[in-house]
Amino acid sequence: MDTIHKITPKDERFLPTLKALRSRNFSRNLPFLLLSDKLPDGQVYREFADGHIEIQEVFSVGALFQHKVLRVLPAPEADKVRSAYGLL
């Protein structure tokens, strides 16, 4: 995998909010969306409460957004993503 976004000191001030939103989503059994400029346009990371992360393609069909799972990350790669965003 190519390099992943690394959290910067500027990003760290948003980390408590990011963690709170992530926790809220998981408590509601919803996935957490992570945007990355290292993924191609239209692709995102989606993390689930059970710990797995998928790379998904997001696209619109009319006024609706749809997604397609492109790949499920192996556990070590998922941990690298979480670590890069300060979520480990």
Does residue 36 lie within any of the structural domains? yes
Q: How many domains does the chain have?
A: 1
Q: 13-20 long-range CB contacts below 8 Å, 24 or more apart?
A: 15/86, 18/85, 18/86, 18/87, 19/87
Does residue 3 lie within any of the structural domains? no
Sequence-ordered strand ranges (E) for the chain: 32-34, 43-47, 53-61, 64-72
Does residue 2 lie within any of the structural domains? no
Tens-place pLDDT, residues 3-39: 455 555 556 788 899 899 999 999 999 999 999 888 9
CATH no. for residue 75?
A: 3.30.160
Task: Write the DSSP symbol of residue 74.
Answer: P
CA distance 66 to 79: 26
Write out the residue range of the structural domain in which residue 29 sits. Answer: 9-84
Kindly report the pTM of this predicted structure.
Answer: 0.81
Does residue 4 lie within any of the structural domains? no
